A and B are shown apart, each in its own frame.
Chain A
Amino acid sequence: MNESTIGLVTPTSELARAFKLESGVDVNLCFQCNKCTAGCPTSYAMDYTPAQLIHAVRLGLDDLILHSKTMWMCAACETCTTRCPQDVDIAKVMDAAKIIARRRGIQPPVPGVASFYRSGLTTIRLFGRMYEVGMMMMLKMLTRDFFKDMGLGMKMMRKGKLKMLPSLSLGRTIATWRLFSRVKKKEKRVTR
């Protein structure tokens, strides 16, 4: 038996294939050295470590992964991606896990973080740029946590670091709307 025949009998889980399609990353390259986990600043807040998550993708444990907190607690700092000796882009796997979970209609176990992304993207879609005050208001509606950081927000507003009104431009709004709708159309075609 040589290396190429070993390669042929290595099975790939359906899920690993889905991750590859979503992110371009082949998790089967991982040899579980755990370097990603050792350097991860937020692994202490995850239910599965980054290395465990990668392994679970290889094994095709859909439920475990897609209901896990791990990808929602990823800060996207890219330390894991930088240090992986096998060049597995782990940060991108985390993104793919969020995207696949969302597509399958799974409620995120860390709703605040998911709401933050949703609020941020909504203001970007509407105005073409991030509008912090609008994003924060939407986040408060979604998380029902109305008083968190109110004092800090007021202080920042007094210092002119938060703008009450979004920066508006019709051209920018149209350009953004066009971009978002083309992405949506294209993704529908690919994922169907």
Chain B
Amino acid sequence: MKYAYYPGCSLHSTGTEFDESFKAVCQSLGIELEEVPGWLCCGTSPAHSTSRLLSLAMPMKNLVLAERTKLEEMVVPCAACFSRFKIALYEIGEDEELRKDVDEVVGSSFQGQIHVIHPLEMFDRVDSGTLRSHVKRDLSDLKVACYYGCLLTRPPKAAQFDVCEYPVTMDRVLQSVGIPTVDWSYKTECCGGVFSLTETDIVLKLVNDIFNEAKAVGADAIAVACPLCHANLDTRLTEIEEKYGVDYGNMPTFYFTQLMGLAFGLSHKELALGKHIVNPEPLLRERVPA
């Protein structure tokens, strides 16, 4: 299998662990990736807060570029990029006038020859027997809370991803590689995303709520599928513990691909586990046989 790959800006910087671990897991499974040549930023929040037309034109420009790969599907790991692509496709599909405007800005028209999917959908399609056959490390002592965040599932009319209020795809994928996941009610709560650098207090409150719930249900770690969620959970934990006088015992936040890679027996270096701010090694030493 071969997919077009749109990493997005975060996976080349703050979310580099997601990029590295995703590629490593794909390699283990024999999945080939072709990075979309000349890809641009999806526009993200700065674009949709400033100009609707720009926020639609940027993803559509990238889809036009992706279409040239002649591949059938483009995989987009960053939940924020994934959302911008899905929303753009939905909106131009609903409004012919808007579509014409976007085409004019992009300079060519998207033909609909390539589909946008998330890595979770991609791995969910691999049958569980195949996933299990790649498992080389026992992670059955690690209890993980799957945190999907906002943008993978919302709004459902555009995202078309799982059940929007209680998704289970990540749970299913991780369980297939032998990782127990917990039921909890904060799967799709917001981490405060864009406010990380400016209204940090909001992020501290929202992320505290998330860790509080994860701890309450007995999770050892959180798994995410979005570099913005990861940044907020991983970088703000110490501040939260200080501000709210709580102790989450250095609960690490992993990209779900890092956990898959661990189960597949990949090295910590290949999965960029050393790049987290919250060091996951103590937990892994305690719960995962070497």
Residue of B nearest to A23 (CB): B52
Chain B, 14-63, CB within 8 A of any chain A CB: 14-16, 38, 40-41, 43-54, 57-58, 61
Task: Please determine whether A124 and B41 come into contact, CB atoms closer than 8 angstroms.
Answer: yes
Output the least CB separation between A158 and chain B (Å): 10
Indicate the member of A45, A75, A172 with the most B CB atoms within 10 Å.
A75
Q: Pull 29 A–B residue pairs with CB atoms less than 8 Å apart, ordered by A.
A: A41-B189, A41-B190, A42-B202, A75-B150, A77-B150, A78-B150, A78-B151, A82-B164, A89-B155, A95-B48, A95-B49, A95-B52, A102-B50, A112-B198, A113-B198, A117-B46, A119-B46, A139-B198, A156-B235, A159-B277, A161-B16, A169-B38, A175-B38, A175-B61, A179-B105, A179-B106, A182-B105, A183-B57, A187-B53
Interface of A is mostly: helix
A180 within 8 A of partner (CB): yes
Output the least CB separation between B84 and chain A (Å): 11
Given contacts A129-B9, A156-B277, A183-B105, contact A98 B49 (CB under 8 A): yes
Output the least CB separation between A191 and chain B (Å): 11
B130 within 8 A of partner (CB): no
A24 — which chain B residues lie within 8 A by C-beta?
91, 95, 98
Size bracket, chain A contacts: 35 or more
Task: Please determine whether A116 and B14 come into contact, CB atoms closer than 8 angstroms.
Answer: no
B193 — which chain A residues lie within 8 A by C-beta?
75-77
Residue of A nearest to B10 (CB): A130
Indicate the member of A152, A172, A176 with the most B CB atoms within 10 Å.
A152
B216 — which chain A residues lie within 8 A by C-beta?
none
A50 within 8 A of partner (CB): no
How far, in angstroms, from A73 to B202 measured CA to CA in the complex? Answer: 9
Given contacts A124-B46, A130-B44, A179-B106, contact A113 B195 (CB under 8 A): yes
B10 — which chain A residues lie within 8 A by C-beta?
130
Size bracket, chain B contacts: 35 or more
CB < 8 Å neighbour of B206 from A41, A128, A186: A41
Tally of contacts, chain A with chain B, CB under 8 A? 169
Task: Please determine whether A180 and B235 come into contact, CB atoms closer than 8 angstroms.
Answer: no
How far, in angstroms, from A139 to B198 measured CA to CA in the complex? Answer: 9
CB < 8 Å neighbour of A183 from B45, B46, B51, B190: B51
Given contacts A102-B50, A120-B46, A162-B13, contact A79 B105 (CB under 8 A): no
Given contacts A75-B194, A179-B106, contact A159 B275 (CB under 8 A): yes
A62 — which chain B residues lie within 8 A by C-beta?
none
Task: Please determine whether B154 and A113 come into contact, CB atoms closer than 8 angstroms.
Answer: no
B132 within 8 A of partner (CB): no
Residue of B nearest to A152 (CB): B235
Task: Please determine whether A182 and B104 come into contact, CB atoms closer than 8 angstroms.
Answer: yes
B218 within 8 A of partner (CB): no
